[in-house]
Amino acid sequence: MYDRAFRQAGFKNIIPVVSQSIIDPEFPTTIKPNPEFKQCFDEGIKLANDLKADLIIATDPDADRMGACVRTSDGSFQVLTGNQIATLFINYLLVNLKAAGKLSSDYELITSIVSSALPFKIAQDYGIKTKHVLTGFKFIGEEIDRMSTQNDGHFFDGI
C-alpha cells in the first residue's frame, strides 16, 4: 500500500525491504517494530548500503507512526526525530506553496507546546500565523474547529 501511495505522490525508485514486507505478528526482523528506534531500521540500512540509498522510511505495524533514517556525510545512518521530520515537512510545504504562488497569510500552523520551536520560526518567516496549544491532537483539533466556526484563518498544519 505504501508503495502505491509513494508512486501516486510522484516518487520513483521505491525499494521495499522484502523481509519486513511480510505480515507476521511476531515481527521477526526487528527487536522493536517502532520507527523511533534505530534497530527498526537495521534491515533497511543493510539494503540501503547495498543500493547506495540515502533515505529509509519505516512505519510501525499499523502505520500510525512513521520514521525516517538518513545517510550522513560520513556514510552512517541517523534516525530523524519527529521534530526533525516535522521541520523538514513544514519547510518543504512552505517552499512549494510560495513557489506556486499559493502561500496565504491566512494560513495558520498549530504546534503543541512540546514541539520544536524551529517549524514555528520557519512559518513566521513565511508570514504564516502560528499558535501553540497543549500536547495532543485533541487540542490541535479544537483549534481547527475554532478556526472553521469563526472564519479565523485557514488551518495549514499541526505538529
CA–CA dist 153, 158 (Å, integer) = 14
Structure confidence at residue 144 (pLDDT): 85
Query: Start-end ranges of CATH 3.40.120.10 in the chain?
Result: 83-158
What is the mean pLDDT, run by run of 10 residues, along the chain of 159 residues? 79 89 86 88 96 93 88 96 91 93 88 88 91 88 84 61
CATH topology classification for 83-158:
Alpha-D-Glucose-1,6-Bisphosphate; Chain A, domain 3 (3.40.120)
Structure confidence at residue 51 (pLDDT): 96
Q: What is each CA distance from 133 to 113, 118, 123, in whole angstroms?
A: 6, 16, 16
Structure confidence at residue 158 (pLDDT): 57
